C-alpha cells in the first residue's frame, strides 16, 4: 500500500547510494582531518561534502521539511525537533573508521513525522550493504528481510559497546565500569564496530544481541531505531524508559528480556547535554 512518505523513502535510498559513492571514492585516499569539540571527535572534508550534497538535494525536493544533520549542527545550526517531517542525517557514521579505512562506515538517514519514527536507511558504503526499515513494513538488508536473534538471556548475548568521543573522566569511568560489569556477568563477549548505526543493524540482522551507548547523537540512532524495531528488536533508554531520541542515550537489543537484564547490569547516570539544548 502506498503511503504519503513513499517519495521520501525512495529519495532517501537514492541519496544514500549517491553518498556511498562519494565515500567509496574517498575511502583509500589521503584525507583532510580536523577535530571538532575534542581531539577524538573527527571530521573530514568528505563528511562535510556528503552532508551538503544530501541536504541540498532533499531540501530542494521537500522544502518545508526539517533537517538535522551532524555537520550542519557542528557548524552552528540549531537542532530543532518538532512535529514537522524531520530528517536526521549522519553523512559518515564511523568517521574514525573512515579515517583509518576500517570498513564500517555508513550513511545514516532517519525520518520522523509528528515525532514518530517513519523510516530508516543505513548504507554501509565500503561493503555495499543497504539496510532499510519502515514502520509497519519490515526491515531489509540488500532487499532481504532481516530479523533480530530473539535471544532471551544476557549470558547468551554478544554485546556491542562504544567508547565514544568524550574522554571526560565521568563518562570514561562509567563506560569502563559497565564494560567490566558486563564482562563479569558474563556476557558472551563485547565488540565495537565504531558506527552506532551499524551496531544497530548488526543487532537487527541477528549478528549481535545488544548495543548500548550514551553520548552519541540523534543522527547516529534515528535510522537504526526503525530498522531494529521492524526486525523485531527492542529500543529504549538505558534506564528502561521510553527512548528519547534527543537525549543522547540508547539501548538497542534483540529482545525485551535482554534489555531488562542489560539495565540491571549496566548503569548510565553521567550527565549529558541534550541534542536539542538551546
Q: Exposed/middle/buried for 257, CB within 10 Å: 0-12, 13-18, 19+?
A: middle
275 touching ligand IPD, by CB under 6 A: no
70 touching ligand IPD, by CB under 6 A: yes
The stretch near ligand IPD (CB under 6 A) out of 5-13, 25-33, 211-219, 251-259 is 211-219
Q: For residue 239, what is its C-alpha cell? A: 534506564
Which residue among 48, 90, 261, 275 contacts ligand IPD (CB under 6 A)?
A: 90
Q: For residue 198, what is its C-alpha cell? A: 551499524
Residues in the chain: 278
110 versus 164: smaller Cβ distance to ligand IPD: 164
Q: For residue 184, what is its C-alpha cell? A: 563479569
Touching ligand IPD, residues 138-157 (CB under 6 A): none
Q: For residue 167, what is its C-alpha cell? A: 574522554
Least separation in angstroms between CB 57 and ligand IPD: 20
The rounded distance, in Å, linking the Cα atoms of 231 and 252 is 12
110 touching ligand IPD, by CB under 6 A: no
51 touching ligand IPD, by CB under 6 A: no
Peptide bond into 186 cis (omega under 30): yes
Which residue among 110, 120, 126, 215 contacts ligand IPD (CB under 6 A)?
A: 215
Least separation in angstroms between CB 64 and ligand IPD: 27
Q: Exposed/middle/buried for 27, CB within 10 Å: 0-12, 13-18, 19+?
A: middle
7 versus 38: smaller Cβ distance to ligand IPD: 38
The side-by-side arrangement of strands in the sheet containing 129-134 is 66-69, 86-93, 106-113, 116-124, 129-134, 138-141, 144-145
Q: Are 59 and 75 in contact (CB under 8 A)?
A: no
Touching ligand IPD, residues 151-190 (CB under 6 A): 162, 164-165
Least separation in angstroms between CB 58 and ligand IPD: 18
For ligand IPD (CB under 6 A), the number of binding residues is 15
Q: Summarize as ranges the residues that interact with ligand IPD (CB under 6 A).
A: 70, 90, 93-95, 162, 164-165, 194-196, 213, 215-216, 220
Amino acid at each position: 500500500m502506498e503511503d504519503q512518505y513513499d517519495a521520501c523513502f525512495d529519495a532517501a535510498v537514492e541519496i544514500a547510494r549517491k553518498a556511498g559513492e562519494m565515500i567509496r571514492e574517498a575511502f583509500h585516499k589521503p584525507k583532510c582531518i580536523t577535530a571538532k569539540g575534542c581531539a577524538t571527535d573527527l571530521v573530514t572534508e568528505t563528511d562535510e561534502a556528503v552532508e551538503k550534497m544530501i541536504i541540498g538535494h532533499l531540501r530542494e525536493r521537500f522544502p518545508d521539511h526539517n533537517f538535522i544533520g551532524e555537520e550542519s549542527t557542528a557548524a552552528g545550526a540549531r537542532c530543532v525537533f518538532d512535529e514537522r517531517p524531520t530528517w536526521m542525517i549522519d553523512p559518515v557514521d564511523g568517521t574514525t573508521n573512515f579515517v583509518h579505512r576500517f570498513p564500517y562506515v555508513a550513511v545514516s538517514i532517519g525520518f520522523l513525522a509528528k515525532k514518530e519514527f517513519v523510516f530508516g536507511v543505513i548504507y554501509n558504503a565500503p561493503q555495499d550493504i543497504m539496510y532499510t526499515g519502515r514502520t509497519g513494513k519490515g526491515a531489509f538488508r540488500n532487499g532481504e528481510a532481516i530479523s533480530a536473534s530473539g535471544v532471551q538471556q544476557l549470558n547468551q548475548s554478544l554485546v556491542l559497546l562504544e567508547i565514544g568521543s568524550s574522554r571526560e573522566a565521568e563518562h570514561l569511568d562509567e563506560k569502563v565500569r559497565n564494560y567490566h560489569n558486563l564482562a563479569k556477568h558474563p556476557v558472551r563477549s563485547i565488540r565495537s564496530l565504531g558506527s552506532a548505526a551499524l551496531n544497530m543493524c548488526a543487532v537487527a540482522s541477528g549478528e549481535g544481541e545488544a548495543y548500548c551507548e550514551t553520548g552519541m547523537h540523534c543522527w547516529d540512532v534515528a535510522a537504526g531505531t526503525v530498522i531494529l524495531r521492524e526486525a523485531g528488536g527492542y529500543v529504549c533508554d538505558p534506564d528502561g524508559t521510553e527512548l528519547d531520541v534527543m537525549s543522547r542515550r540508547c539501548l538497542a537489543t534483540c529482545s525485551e528480556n535482554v534489555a531488562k537484564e542489560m539495565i540491571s547490569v549496566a548503569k548510565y547516570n553521567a550527565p549529558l547535554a541534550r541534542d536539542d539544548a538551546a
